[in-house]
Structure 1
Amino acid sequence: MGSSENAIGGGRTAAVDKDVDFANYFCTYAFLFHQKEMLSDRVRMDAYYNAIFENKHHFNGKAVLDVGTGSGILAIWSAQAGARKVYAVEATKMSEHARALVKANNLEHVVEVIEGSMEDVTLPEKVDVIISEWMGYFLLRESMFDSVICARDRWLKPTGAMYPSHARMWFAPIRTGMGERKLGDYQSAMDDWYNFVDDTKTYYGVDMSVLTNPFSEEQKKYYLQTSLWNHLHPHQVIGTAAIIKDIDCLTASVSDIEEVRSKFSLSITMENTKLCGFGGWFDVHFRGRSEDPAAQEIILTTAPSIDYSTHWGQQVFLLDPPIRVSEGDNLNASFLMTRSKENHRLMEVELGYEIQQQSGKLLAPFKNKYYIE
């Protein structure tokens, strides 16, 4: 163990880092502009609206907790569906807008907006339903589900329901031209660096070339190893999709989601194409609970779609270089996603895979590391 001074200093640094992370994360959601983006997502809105109003028996006369209420829309719908009391918890000053919206809709006698983090808030009673739109990119980026788990363990009745009740993460092989563009961006960055090194030595007499490798690694991470947000067309998916994580929101623990580990197989379903990377997405389900199921199960999916895209899009993990594949080829893969040590709201992915061609030839195994930022 280090000295008391070191221990105190380390604790202070950790506290400051946590405060900075808290501020950086929540400041985004304090703007109406960002709330509008989510409220304009018709797939998202329709799913939650239908989940509530087609399952009014879960809300009518019940106490509801809305975790991360934002503008307050889910709390308002819960009240309109007949909830006796709705506790709408919001960590940012967006709570003031939510409170104004609740009042403007004449629901202040039902909906109580509480400003504070879910971990610190105290409620006067246990609730029958916890509703939250906690999903981040590729489901778990942002780690907001931690707060939902905390709320569930503290405030949900033993007979209570979670909205959504279940979530799944999907992974599939894709074709895309993004890899070539990103490789070009990386090469342009390196060309610019070499010119910079030459100019610095010529004009200022300092040789910067010793930093070339670190700069290259930095740019590779940014251009080639950081997953990309994209709206994939269904035709870009070139094989079967696999479920890499299945979450029961009623029973999942934080340790269950801190690390996502999966082994799975995929089959190529398109003749003579290029495997350029992988696409990741999620869906959530509103099923109620087994003892008290939903009258109508509603599914919100972020899968590639022509007409029903969402603001979440998909996460794309590029391969460099792409691999020629064909129908009938099989991929055996291992997937590991962990939280970044520098910021627990960001993710790191390790992906290993080998390709068994239809001819029987086994290609050399591949291994890549990616960052979801």
Structure 2
Amino acid sequence: MSKRRRVQDLSDEAEGSIFDAKSEKFYFNVYSDASVHERMLEDMTRTKAYQDAIFKFSDAIKGKVVADVGAGTGILSMFCIQAGAKKVYAVEASDMAEQARGVIKANGMSEQIDVMQCLVEDCDLPEMVDVIVSEWMGCMLLYESMWVSLLCARDKWLKPNGLMWPSVTELHLAPITNEGLWQEKKEIWDSVNENYGVNMSSMFPFAWTCLCRSVNIIVLSAENVLARGHVIAKFDMATVKISDLEHVKSDFSFASMGRGVLHGFAAWFTAAFDVRQNDSELNSVVLTTSPYNEPTHWEHSVMYIEHPVTVDQDDIISGNIKITTNKKYSRWLDVQLTCRVKDNPEFEQKYTMNDLS
């Protein structure tokens, strides 16, 4: 279960419209629930990447002041203290802040870590910080828009030449096949005749079309990937602007690695923790959510196309993708994808990425 799926599970607990003033309260209530944090802590790829970076590059932390943005249970704050940080300000807007205080106290770090329960936008730290560490990334990197608070923290609190961790994030895209899901969906409607004596096979095209309206969060493997993934967006977290993240646009062109059926496209991200040593050498720890690696709680963000197309080796799959924050509720995403396969007519599809899809 991804963080996004936990939001879906709790969606019927939100009062009123998802667009009303209570929606933000609901968003932070989700992160007050232990299950979200259990899922994140069980994701060893995620948590170990942060621990490895903080410990491996401890010279960048020792004796420094750190802000942990969206601190959750406080684990990243405690990693920083273990690596020698002088002080950590753990900023957490949800009621999980109270639980974090208990965990930090149990680990004997209450004097070194100040837990501040408030929005970053409303928070004033008593001093500037040398490092900002944050696990802000959502599905398809940008979902949930926590980067808005991260950039606010950077602009308010980070010293000149201070360190942002992760330092660089990249969003990747690749064409994919998923014959297993295609057959599974088809069999659901074919089986109605066998089970109940009513033919509903004509429902399958409509059911597939419904699937194609939203970004689907699932786990893929390397076998699903039809062509080498491309980086469609790269962000330097020390300099990126909100406008850069609100509107992401990229062209793409893939050459199929073999024969298969193009069912859609998948997006995933990487996050690099960079430090420069000896004033020149760049060293990094990289967190990847690629389908070529172990699955993470972010899984993969899949956009299916209404009319799958058979491709042969070296066939060109080209087009462009636009990812924008939803105009009504900025934690959601809207995706527009335009594609051409070989010399076939170009087609366009639009997707939503929200808590109800």
Q: 1:228 aligns with which of 210, 216, 225?
A: 216
Among the aligned pairs, what percent are the same residue? 36
- What does residue 368 of structure 1 align with? 349
Separation in 1, partners of 2:91, 2:137: 16
Deviation at 1:323, TM superposition (A): 0.1
Q: Deviations over 1:3-24 (max 9, x none)?
A: xxxxxxxxxxxxx946322122
Q: 1:250 to 1:265 in 2, by over 3 A?
A: same
Separation in 2, partners of 1:341, 1:27: 23
Deviation at 1:187, TM superposition (A): 10
- Which structure shows the higher helix fraction? 1
Mapped contact 1:186–1:223 kept (Cα < 8 A): no
Answer yes or no: is 1:275 the counterpart of 2:256: no
Separation in 1, partners of 2:19, 2:261: 43
- What does residue 168 of structure 2 align with? 166
Mapped contact 2:277–2:283 kept (Cα < 8 A): no
Q: Deviations over 1:224-263 (max 9, x none)?
A: 2111111101011011211111000000111110011111
Deviation at 1:182, TM superposition (A): 5.1
Q: 2:289 aligns with which of 296, 299, 302?
A: 302
Q: 1:322 aligns with which of 292, 300, 308?
A: 308
Mapped contact 1:54–1:295 kept (Cα < 8 A): no
Q: 1:349 to 1:113 in 2, by over 3 A?
A: same
Q: 1:355 aligns with which of 329, 336, 341?
A: 341
Mapped contact 2:29–2:95 kept (Cα < 8 A): no
Separation in 1, partners of 2:325, 2:174: 22
> For structure 1, which runs of at least 5 residues remain unmatched after alignment?
1-15, 189-194, 196-215, 357-361
Q: TM-score, normalised by structure 2?
A: 0.85
Separation in 2, partners of 1:92, 1:75: 16
Mapped contact 2:73–2:100 kept (Cα < 8 A): yes
Aligned length: 326
Moved more, 313-322 or 289-298: 289-298
- What does residue 79 of structure 1 align with? 81
Backbone CA RMSD of aligned residues: 2.5
Q: TM-score, normalised by structure 1?
A: 0.82
Mapped contact 1:161–1:289 kept (Cα < 8 A): no
- Structure showing greater radius of gyration is 1
Mapped contact 2:276–2:283 kept (Cα < 8 A): no
- What does residue 207 of structure 1 align with? none
- What does residue 246 of structure 1 align with? 234
- What does residue 263 of structure 1 align with? 251
Alignment of 1:157-196 (within 5 A): 157-177=159-179, 178-179=181-182, 181=184
SS of 1:225 mapped into structure 2: coil
- What does residue 32 of structure 2 align with? 30
